[in-house]
Structure 1
Amino acid sequence: MIQPPVHTVSLAGLGSGLTQLPPLSLYLHFPWCVRKCPYCDFNSHEARNGFDEAGYVDALLADLEQALPAVWGRPVTTVFMGGGTPSLFSPAAMDRLLAGIRARIRLHPDAEITMEANPGTFEFEKFRGFREAGINRLSIGVQSFAPHHLRALGRIHDGNEARRAIEIALTHFDNVNVDLMYALPGQTLAEALDDVSVALGMGVTHLSAYHLTIEPNTLFAVRTPANLPDDDLSADMQEALEACLAEAGFEHYETSAFARPGHRARHNLNYWTFGDYLGLGAGAHGKISAHDGIVREMREKQPTAYLAGIAAGSAIQSRHKVGRKDLPFEFMMNALRLTEGVPLALFTERTGLPPSVLQAPLQRAEQAGLIEPHPTMLRPTLAGQRFLNDLLTLFLNEGD
């Protein structure tokens, strides 16, 4: 895959610790879905009475216009449409949205443009239209191919629909990701491996494998399913999945992500290397670097509040500057998800802080066997990958 050149904007002379701005991505959130899954803690809302497709596209474009001063002149290298279920929208709506984006910002001609999609019949019949609209990467939320596991997860598709969706996607897209979950209620090691084998056999180029986690404010948190695999079985599943994917030639480049050579998710890589992203849409989060520091912001979560905010001139619910004490943790929370690590120099480039602020926590991490001793790289050990939260806590409040 041809990688676009890295575009940077100089900050020399502006009085910031940053010397240049990182690459910029665009995230677009689509908050509606057919039915809320019991494990889902994302900002998604059941579309019981439908939704105003054209009105929401108008709002996204207005949101972009309102945000332009913060990113003026910066090229966008990747776009990600997440949800909710973006594939509930029509290809015509996506075409109008992308045309509007191109008219307002500098979208790189080789930009990776990803859309999340469900495997339901209603959605996969539109895949060709999405490709014609300019979307060039599809991420399909399969989770499992086994009917009983899909029922336990509250999914509205079945295994046959999932297989058919992948087949159709691969006829229109060169780059297709499949999301799978493991450690499901009552799941055996063989069943977890079977899900991966099915996806591999169909020829997907990227696979994301997530451990089922019981998140607060979800239905599973209120009624936790029985027969969840214990920690030992869950660990066995993780190791077996990693071995199976490695044997198939997939690179394990991020905690939960595996890719055939040349098919790593460029949008997600920008997250993990502490790049910038403008988040538009209900509940979208963003991270924007400027001459005076790094700002995080979030849009209104409820679709009605978001639309009202856009009409009033801004739908930003919260905005705050990331403090020096928080920067090491925030950087590491992203970068240490990459199994190959990142250059130590990237820490200073993306935070404006000297590497000396990392000296004490790095020594503790090395002594604990969680990070590899290296003069120029920040790379987690296998134990650091397995116990990432323990590793990250060592970097809290280390920015002074």
Structure 2
Amino acid sequence: MLALPNLSLYIHIPWCVQKCPYCDFNSHGQKGPLPEKEYIAALINDLDQELAWVQGRSLHSIFIGGGTPSLLSEAAIASLLDAIAQRITFEDDIEITMEANPGTAEAKRFAGYRQAGVNRLSLGIQSFENEKLKRLGRIHDSAQAIKAVEMAQQSGFERINLDLMHGLPNQDAQGALGDLKQAIALGPTHISWYQLTIEPNTAFASHPPKLPDDERLWDIETAGKALLKENNFNQYEISAYGLANDRARHNLNYWRFGDYLGIGCGAHGKLTQLSDNSIVRHVKVRHPKGYLEKNRPALDQSWQVDIKDRPFEYFLNRLRLFEEIPKAEYQSLTDLDPTGINEPIQQAIELGLMSDNRDCWQVTSRGHLFLNDLLDLFLVE
């Protein structure tokens, strides 16, 4: 029998000032005033259709992502969070994260977001080099990024994540480390540091920039990880580093195969249904025009995860974490006996990608280097 995991809520805000050339997220350049009231109403209506999936649980975390959520006013965010709280009980220590752009206009709203209930801010810095920011299509500069962090701290945010990229066009180790050093100096509690990749259906895919070769990328990653460790940022996931116990609760719930409601344009949800022992995935209408269309259901697609696919679905994110993987957790969240995956586990052990510690599995350092190869072992054709 499946167990009910923690329940989170993802809220997608689809608009941004302009589309970045590397971005493959569901985002749309802002054209004129945003339909704030209409979109908040649509989000609440969307949530109302999802309430049966709560099944008596309290909300573990909320993540407001995009797009650029900080294009919405403080009042809009406050009304949205109030409406959610009226419908679902919050855990006492709920984490409410909001992604924000470091631009000056958005930074002026930080205090209002904090007052509305947002208690964790994630700033999309990407780089502190103006030339790199311009190449990435970012609309802020280095000075604005630094000022935004300071304004977030002054606004009462004790938990601040900085998003940084490495492996940028013509970037060397010195440049990548310079970005990290500047980020660390600003005093965030968490840093997401990930490699730029060229995704299909992006401007960079059509006109690819020249990126560092594998040898330079290795040098950047090795030196960067050492620098973060020296400054007490603990790596707990492939691209996530936190001071002390600051780990992104919402993302941890994804990575641990938790449940999450998804509302907003193109939002995804993963939900456990005890009545029929099923795991269901939802996708909402992708385009803002369609999502805002009255009398049109927000739900676009829904399907059950086949039992044979549950091992792959479970490990898809779980393998990214550096913590042990309890066999009991695997069984409770998939309703599958761990002995059923003895063959791929044994292959992983023989390849040096995992170890078996009696009650838990552990991804090895080699396993994290060859994560795609490890994951493929659990894929059923």
TM score, norm. by length of structure 2: 0.97
| Structure 1 segment 231-310 matched on structure 2, within 5 A | 231-291=214-274, 292=276, 293-308=278-293
Which range is displaced more, 166-175 or 76-85? 166-175
**Residue type of the alignment partner of 2:200:** P
Render the CA deviation track for 1:222-248: whole Å, top value 9, x for unaligned: 00012x101111122111111111110
Partner SS, residue 50 of structure 2: helix
For 1:1-400, what aligned pairs fall within 5 Å after superposition? 17-18=1-2, 20-171=3-154, 172-226=156-210, 228-291=211-274, 292=276, 293-308=278-293, 311-312=294-295, 314-397=297-380
CA distance in 1, matches of 2:361, 2:182: 35
Unaligned runs of 5+ in 1: 1-16
1:372 and 1:235 map into 2 onto residues whose CA distance is 25
CA distance in 1 between partners of 2:37 and 2:237 (Å): 36
CA distance in 2 between counterparts of 1:358 and 1:49 reads 53
Query: How far off is 1:261 after superposition?
Result: 1.0
Q: Would you say the 8 A contact 1:335–1:341 is kept in 2?
A: no
The list of structure 1 runs, each at least 4 consecutive aligned residues, that deviate by more than 6 angstroms after superposition, is none
Whether the aligned pair in 2 keeps the contact of 1:336 and 1:378 (CA below 8 Å) is no
Amino acid at match of 2:250: H
Mapped to 2, the partners of 1:34 and 1:50 lie a distance apart of: 11
Deviation digits for residues 161-195 of structure 1 (CA, Å, limit 9, x no counterpart): 00000111122200000000000000010110110
User: TM-score w.r.t. structure 1 length?
Assistant: 0.93
CA distance in 1, matches of 2:223, 2:344: 32
Distance between the aligned counterparts of 2:254 and 2:124, measured in 1? 20
Q: Give the letter aligned to residue 267 of structure 1.
A: H
Q: Which amino acid aligns with 1:304?
A: K
Taking the aligned partners of 1:239 and 1:343, their CA distance within structure 2 comes to: 29
Report the Cα distance in structure 1 between the residues aligned to 2:230 and 2:65, rounded to whole angstroms.
30
Q: Which amino acid aligns with 1:195?
A: D
Separation (CA, whole Å) in 2 of partners of 1:345 and 1:374:
13
Question: Per-residue deviation at 1:313?
Answer: 5.4
Deviations 1:66-94, CA, capped at 9 Å, x for gaps: 11122242211100000000000001111
Partner of 2:183, secondary structure, is: helix
The alpha carbon displacement at 1:197 in A equals 0.6
Q: Which amino acid in 2 is paired with 1:207?
A: I
Shift of residue 341, structure 1, vs aligned partner: 2.9
Cα distance in structure 2, aligned partners of 1:349 and 1:83: 32
* One-letter amino acid of the structure 1 residue matched with residue 282 of structure 2: E
Write the letter of the residue equivalent to 1:181: M
CA distance in 1, matches of 2:333, 2:291: 30
Deviations 1:335-385 (A, max 9, x none): 110012321211001111110121000000111111123222222111111
Q: C-alpha displacement at 1:49, in angstroms?
A: 2.1
- Judge conservation of contact 1:32–1:83 (CA < 8 Å) in 2: yes
Give the distance between the partners of 2:258 and 2:238, measured in 1 at CA. 18
Kindly provide the CA deviation profile for residues 48-74 of structure 1, in whole angstroms up to 9, marking residues without a partner as x: 223201111111111111111222422
SS in 1 for 2:308: coil
Deviation of 1:108 (Å)? 1.6
Distance (Å, rounded) in 1 between the aligned partners of 2:258 and 2:328 = 14
Deviation at 1:109, TM superposition (A): 2.7
Aligned length: 378
1:115–1:135 contact (8 Å) kept in structure 2 = yes
Q: What is the letter of the counterpart of residue 283 of structure 2?
A: M
**Aligned-pair RMSD on alpha carbons?**
1.0
The aligned amino acid for 1:79 is: I
Contact 1:371 1:381 in 2 (8 A): yes
Give the share of equivalent positions with the same residue, in percent: 50
